Chain A
Amino acid sequence: MTSFLLSLTGGLLAALAAPWLTRRFPKRSGWLLALAPLGILVSLMNLLPALRNGESPSVSLAWAESLGLSATFQLDGLGALLAALVAGIGALVLIYGGAYLSGHPNLTRFYVVVLLFMTAMLGLAVSANALLLFIFWELTSITSFLLIGFEHERPAARAAAWQALLVTGGGGLALLAGFILLGNLTGSYEIPQWIAQKEVIAASPQSTAAFLLILAGAMTKSAQFPFHFWLPNAMEAPTPVSAYLHSATMVKAGVFLLARLLPALGGLPAWQGLIPWIGLATLLTGALLSLGQADLKKLLAYTTVASLGALVMLLGINTPLSVKAAMVFLPAHALYKGALFLVAGGVDHAVHTRDIRDLGGLGRAMPLTAAAAGLAALSMAGIPPFFGFIAKEVVYESALGAPALAAWVTALTILANIILAAAAGWVALAPFWEKARKDLHPHEGGAGLWLPPLILAALGLVSGLLPELAAKNWIAPAVSSVLGKPYEVKLSLWHGLNLPLLFSLITLLAAVLLYTLRVAARSADADAWQHLARFGPAAMYARGLKGLLSFAALQTRLLQSGYLRVYVLFITLFTVGMALPPALLSMRALPPAVWTGVRFYDVILVLIIVTAAFFVVRATSRLATIALLGAIGFSIAILFLLYSAPDLAMTQFAVETLTVILFVLVIYRLPKFSRLSSRPARLRDILIAGLGGLMMTLLMLVVSYHGQDSRLASFFMENSLPKAYGRNVVNVILVDFRGFDTLGEITVLAIAAVGVFALVRGAAKRKGERHE
């Protein structure tokens, strides 16, 4: 196991070496780099005997233990199946990409990112820790983003990359939330621990939330309805990328995750209740939408969506048979769809178009590509003796065993498969053997362009002819690890005369009919699809994004006016909002008001204050405002005096006088008094000011009712004379008990005065200089 993990770093080393290799061997760089994944594949093969025996070797490295995390890698049958596909197809794609992008200025970037992606994907396959898995998961999203936007000069490629990243990245975050929920539930992030504690998970009320979050992650990654729209758009990527990431491997990550967590979460009622329908919806959506496509790659993309739906549906059905079907269909699909994508790229490379309405007659000039296409298409159409046929048989068999509405599920699966089989013809037969409608000047490319698809397609034939080999080495360990118990897998071409065989026959016949009608080419011209697109989830996504942006703009405009006064207003409003409820609640505890003898001068003073406050805000001249403010200040000072606080009153008198003088001095330097607020704005201000006043009033009432701690007062009263020899307590506090504070204050004032002096002098000097 350790040696296998070490071999994974081969991908990273190759990525490091890629720039040099590309410069040194511009023609052969792809072949050389392919050695890295091949090495990984060989190292994986070495572990096969152990896996066949039901072992799952693991390595655990210390990581962030404080968070309860360790980097645990474990290779089981499921991981090995995915890893083999990733490494094997990776090698072919590197070879193919070297030829396809030969001479491209960014070829190095392609190599580096593809190799990084491959390493992340392999890491995903062998992660036994959920956090580790999440990390690799996000890395595949990012590398996918970089590869979709590979030709970033085109705005369409940028937009598609962006969309794929937002959809899959968002799903990834949901996945993380789900993982954290499960981690808290079980106290561990190790997936085997989750499986061991599946009863704990099932018993928790949070399990459904966790399941839904994880499902959202899997659905976005594996392009399940209604998140399927990003995948066809991702066809902006160079074709080798589409073949590798968006058909054979990365989009399988969601399926892989479901299979990985099936032993832990498969028992939840929502699993069987929800997943099969999502899968079926995706299967139908992909199949039906593929009818409207004229672009080879988009057509293939929609069939990929359909196949991913089938895989998810199978895992959702969650019977041993359906799990087996999923594990058979997964590699079968990867082999033929990868090959067909590479073929589409080869055609594009040769004749510079991918429109099936223009393509035709390429078979003679490109015999090897045509052979690869034919082999792959036969497997996709499910014709014996190809692996695709075996896969389809078991899929039908599983559909018959669906938990609910089995007849409907089977019928719809057959319908989708008819379309997919016909699509295989449109993609792989029509361009080569139908009559050409245009003079295309086709020519066969180099070995790098035809060999990889041919190998993939041939593997589909070999596995079909020797199904036991595939079953024993790959399928059985994978199924066993998903089911959590040894499971024997028997695959054969001939099952006897049974329903699935009948369905296969129906599928084929209907597909031939559909193919000859050339529905795809015709309906691609129809407007109906464009109309349909307006209601699709892609349009919803676009509308949602636009809505989010305009909402964001609106709330920013609302809150961020740039005016200080508005900010102050908001701060006041929210503070009142936070403080008023407790203050109001406390009002009930206050005793009823008791009016002690109110003296007439109290009333007069209060009236003066209220009236002055009213006119302060109404006044139209600065001088009047200042005078009124002064009136308020002096009235308050008199109140202090009346309530036997002469020292406070004296201070207040002094401060008021000073402020009025300062105001008057400043007033001549200010601009003219003007009203800036409109009437509604002023009304709003009154309301908020009133609320602020209300809060302060309540506060005063509460505080004055409950009274203060008078320990300090009595301390000063008692100690003023004996300790400080002073009868004026306030004075004693200032110069004695708190003498250092007073010294500090005086110092601050002195420094401030020096500062003001320096400023004034500096200003005067500058003014003088300007005059001279």
Chain B
Amino acid sequence: MNSDLLTILLPTLALTGWALLLLLVDLWIPREHKGITAVLAAAGLAAALGLTLSQGRLPAMTDSTVMVISDGYALFLDVLFLASGLAGVALAHEYLKRANIANGEYYALLLFSVAGMMLMAHAYNLILIFLALELLSIPLYILSGINRPRLESEESALKYFLLGAFSSGFVLYGTALIYGATARTDLPGIFAALQSAPVNPVIFILGAVLLLVGLAYKVSAVPFHMWTPDVYEGAPTPVTGFMAVAVKAAGFAVLGRILMAAFPTVGKDLTPILWALAALTMLVGNLAAITQKSIKRMLAYSSIAHAGYLLMALVPFSNRLVNSDVQASLLFYLVAYALTGLGAWAVVTALEKQNGDGLKLEDYAGLGKSHPWLALAMTVFMLSFTGIPLTLGFWGKFYLFRTAIEGGFTLLAVIGVVTSLISAYYYLRVLMYMYMRAGSPSVERAPWLQVTAVAAALAVVLISFIPNVLLNLAGNSLLLLP
């Protein structure tokens, strides 16, 4: 093992080690004190975050076997994953107690999944990407079924697992075909092979398409999204929040890297496919969200819709001129989406009852009067999801639309605008319920949830006043192009 490899993977390895320890230590922590496990998990995540940040000044580099890479892109995403992990812990602790499933495994599995995501961001080789994808997914299959006596949770886990395994097959098949066409699995090698050696284009394109299908499943792009609402609805809410935010980000992290580091020369073949996926995802996600009565399901569809917007950022991936905007707008939108999403899921978790009630839109009636701060936070999140000014979501969408138009995809941007309008219908309906209908919602006493919600809302609003900070950060976190 060379030292670069160790340097690059240090935070990931530390987190994995910590998770293994946690699994052991947890055996001695009594059931009523699982808060200790939560704190330990958070400490592990925070430590990994510190390690990651300490690497901020390292130059972009790969190890000698070209398995992993460390660049601004990966570090930026690492921070996003670790922060989502911290939010995942904050969301879960009280919920697990309330739902009577306070098992320590939850935290260890969460940590494993975060480690998988970090590996996704650093992976520079299709084989490793596949491994990272599995490391990320398998803990989540378990987590979505962790509320075991409840049928919905079990159904959710089984569906997720079966379809996830199915889609992993696509990734693997695609990898095999790409290897067959180029004799390489490392991304820069594939890029080089595409430029020089006599590559069989058909086999390669078929492989790339299958790879896209597998990853489209992971980021729940239409038409590979059908699992999302069912799984998100059945899984315990904190897990759903974590999946909706972090897993999506990880999927896009790897999709962006593959497209830009390995496939830029085959844009002619892949761009139409991405275009169609993006347009379909925006349309279907937003249209389906309109009809939902359950807030959990509505947010599930909303996460699909946002996958569409993120895909839009990637459509001009092969255009070298807008490449840096493609990356920066993707990263910026991911942060905006993560902050908004985690906050919104925190509110949803706070209103959910022990028996799984409290998830209907009607249950939010009167929240503005009874819990003004929570309602205000939710308002911020809904506005940000819609993309209304003075929220981070607005800048995110603006940057995306701008990038799409710059890349020459005006029609796609117009579809994005139209679907944003459709989305206003269902996001703002939540506001209608909270402020304009009478009701007496009951909110669980859960300080951590409220802290998460309010902190996320503050971040969404405050950063929107000084978007430069985040824009520069995203703009400087570019991936290493071969």
**A contacts, CB < 8 Å to B:** 62-67, 131, 134-135, 138-139, 142, 149, 152-153, 158, 161-162, 165-166, 169-170, 173-174, 176-177, 180-181, 183-184, 206, 209, 548-549, 551-553, 555-556, 559-560, 562, 564, 566-568, 570-571, 574-575, 578-579, 582-583, 585-586, 589, 699, 702-703, 706, 708-709, 711
Q: Say whether, besides A131-B398, A176-B398, A575-B170, A709 and B183 are in contact (CB < 8 Å).
A: yes
Which residue of the partner chain A has the closest CB to B402? A180
Report the minimum CB–CB distance from B1 to chain A (whole Å).
12
The CA-CA distance from A206 to B406 in the complex, in Å, is 13
B206 within 8 Å of A by Cβ? yes
Q: Say whether, besides A65-B468, A578-B273, A184 and B405 are in contact (CB < 8 Å).
A: yes
A contact residues around B399 at 8 Å (CB): 67
What are 20 sample pairs from A and B whose C-beta atoms fall under 8 A apart?
A64-B395, A135-B390, A138-B388, A138-B389, A158-B432, A161-B436, A170-B424, A173-B418, A177-B401, A184-B405, A549-B291, A552-B287, A567-B163, A571-B223, A571-B224, A578-B273, A582-B269, A585-B202, A699-B206, A709-B180
The CA-CA distance from A702 to B206 in the complex, in Å, is 10
A contact residues around B422 at 8 Å (CB): 548
B185 within 8 Å of A by Cβ? no
A contact residues around B162 at 8 Å (CB): 564
The CA-CA distance from A699 to B399 in the complex, in Å, is 40
The CA-CA distance from A176 to B229 in the complex, in Å, is 31
Other A-B contacts than A548-B290, A555-B287, A568-B163, 15 sampled, CB-CB below 8 A, are: A62-B468, A67-B471, A135-B390, A158-B436, A177-B414, A183-B402, A552-B287, A564-B163, A568-B166, A575-B209, A579-B210, A582-B206, A583-B202, A586-B202, A706-B203
B contact residues around A706 at 8 Å (CB): 200, 202-203
Report the minimum CB–CB distance from B127 to chain A (whole Å).
11
Contact with A along B409-448 (1 / 0, CB 8 A): 0100110011011101100100010011110000000000
The CA-CA distance from A180 to B420 in the complex, in Å, is 15
The CA-CA distance from A131 to B288 in the complex, in Å, is 30
The CA-CA distance from A134 to B401 in the complex, in Å, is 15
B contact residues around A162 at 8 Å (CB): 428, 432
Report the minimum CB–CB distance from B241 to chain A (whole Å).
21
Check B288 against A583 for contact (C-beta < 8 Å): no
B contact patch SS: helix
A contact residues around B432 at 8 Å (CB): 149, 158, 162
Check A166 against B424 for contact (C-beta < 8 Å): yes
Check B417 against A703 for contact (C-beta < 8 Å): no
Contacting residue for A181 out of B167, B227, B410, B472, CB 8 A: B410
Contact with A along B189-204 (1 / 0, CB 8 A): 0000000000010110
The CA-CA distance from A589 to B201 in the complex, in Å, is 11
A contact residues around B200 at 8 Å (CB): 702, 706
Check B402 against A67 for contact (C-beta < 8 Å): yes
| Of A65, A66, A568, most B-chain CB atoms within 10 Å | A66
Which residue of the partner chain A has the closest CB to B230? A562
A contact patch SS: helix
A contact residues around B467 at 8 Å (CB): 63-64, 67
Check A66 against B424 for contact (C-beta < 8 Å): no
B contact residues around A559 at 8 Å (CB): 223, 226, 284, 288
The CA-CA distance from A407 to B206 in the complex, in Å, is 66
Q: Shortest 5 CB-CB distances between A and B: which pairs?
A: A152-B436, A586-B202, A135-B389, A66-B471, A552-B287
B159 within 8 Å of A by Cβ? yes
The CA-CA distance from A181 to B401 in the complex, in Å, is 10
B39 within 8 Å of A by Cβ? no
B104 within 8 Å of A by Cβ? no
Which residue of the partner chain A has the closest CB to B301? A556
B177 within 8 Å of A by Cβ? yes
Q: Say whether, besides A579-B206, A703-B177, A570 and B417 are in contact (CB < 8 Å).
A: no
A contact residues around B424 at 8 Å (CB): 165-166, 169-170
B251 within 8 Å of A by Cβ? no
Report the minimum CB–CB distance from A677 to chain B (whole Å).
18
Check B290 against A552 for contact (C-beta < 8 Å): yes
Check B390 against A139 for contact (C-beta < 8 Å): yes
The CA-CA distance from A761 to B167 in the complex, in Å, is 33
Check A560 against B288 for contact (C-beta < 8 Å): yes
Report the minimum CB–CB distance from A387 to chain B (whole Å).
36
Check A552 against B288 for contact (C-beta < 8 Å): yes
- 8 A Cβ contacts from B148-185 to A: 159, 162-163, 166-167, 170, 177, 180, 183
A contact residues around B420 at 8 Å (CB): 173
- 8 A Cβ contacts from B40-78 to A: none
Q: Say whether, besides A552-B288, A553-B291, A571 and B163 are in contact (CB < 8 Å).
A: yes
The CA-CA distance from A274 to B389 in the complex, in Å, is 30
